[in-house]
Amino acid sequence: AIQTWKEANPGARILPHIQLPVDVTLADGTVSTISTASQLRELQLDCGIKRMGKGHRILECMKPVFPFTLVFPDSTTQVVNDVEEMRMAISDWRAANPSVPGTTHIQFPYDVRLQDSTVVTVYSKEDVDAILSDCNVEPPYGPCIRVVFPITLNYPDGTGEEIADMQSLRDAIEAWNAAHPDDTTRPEIAFPHEIILPNGSTVTVDNKEQLAQFLRSCREQRPFIPNLLDNQCYQVIFPVSLEFADGSTAEVAGYQAYLQFLQAWHRSHAMGDRPPHIALPFDVLVNATNKVVTINEAADLIPILAKCIN
């Protein structure tokens, strides 16, 4: 109904809204009555923070056992013996290779320590994903869309290639980026192609506008999750560490460096890869009080954001 109304009123600035009070069923099955917009906003905030916090439990699920070998984006390697040595190695390599795309990862096989303190060897990304799946640290939502393979990948030079699966897509994009490090135009999936929506249905998208509409509709139905770094409530105090799905970390010195790092990561990874996230704990400067607060878990942000937004 909302989507139909929006299509019929494309220039409207005020959108349809739920009339309050209204009863809502929470994730734990309890029912709560929402009487004001601020109550609804705080509930969305609480839900969003809790869901977002799932990403920070990766290192509670498994921790790499030192020593292990790091593989840098240029395929060089280095053995590291502890966290500090790993951070320095990644930082030194990035400082010496600022324009090389890609991220550092741990070379397979390597050992990880599980929650019950047992040590197991992981031989592939599939082994890591299986452990994380058992620990329930998958992102709070699946992707808004899933591409149906095979697809055709169009390259900026006008050539194209049929791609059979996600791994082949990832490999093709990485190969193009490695061969064209100065090219800012990225390969694109050719239209039309099919996608799978969160409800399991399959639809055909004919152009970028249709794809953007499906993505926008999906995101609008999901709880509000605040921007962790760029907001009016607080300022993140840098440097901070970023954690990757395989347990490795990298340090970023400032907000712009963080943005550049993420941009480089997305250029060298395919859709569906889990992006890095800020490692806990980290410090923030609360704008309202001018005090520094240490964030030990994602839930610590709830009272700061709730007071600021309300």
Q: What does the domain layout of the chain look like in residue ranges? A: 2-141+222-309, 143-221
pLDDT at position 192 is: 95
Structure tokens given for 187: 């390969």
**Residues of the chain predicted below pLDDT 50:** 49, 51-58, 137-140, 224-225, 271, 310
User: Residue 247 in 3-state DSSP?
Assistant: coil
In the numeric block, the tokens 């550049």 are attached to: 260
Contact (Cβ atoms closer than 8 angstroms) between residue 106 and residue 68: yes
Tell me, what's the pLDDT at 259?
74
Q: List own/partner pairs for 138-142 with CB under 8 A and 24 or more apart.
A: 138/54, 139/54, 139/55, 139/274, 140/51, 140/52, 140/54, 141/51, 141/198, 141/222, 142/198
CA 83 to chain centre: 23
Residues whose CB falls within 8 Å of the CB of residue 189, separated by 6 or more in sequence, listed in order: 147, 151, 152, 153, 154
Amino acid 54: pLDDT: 43
Please state, in angstroms and rounded to a whole number, the distance separating the CA atoms of residues 242 and 248: 8
Cβ atoms 189, 148 nearer than 8 A: no
pTM above 0.75, yes or no: no
pLDDT at 133: 66
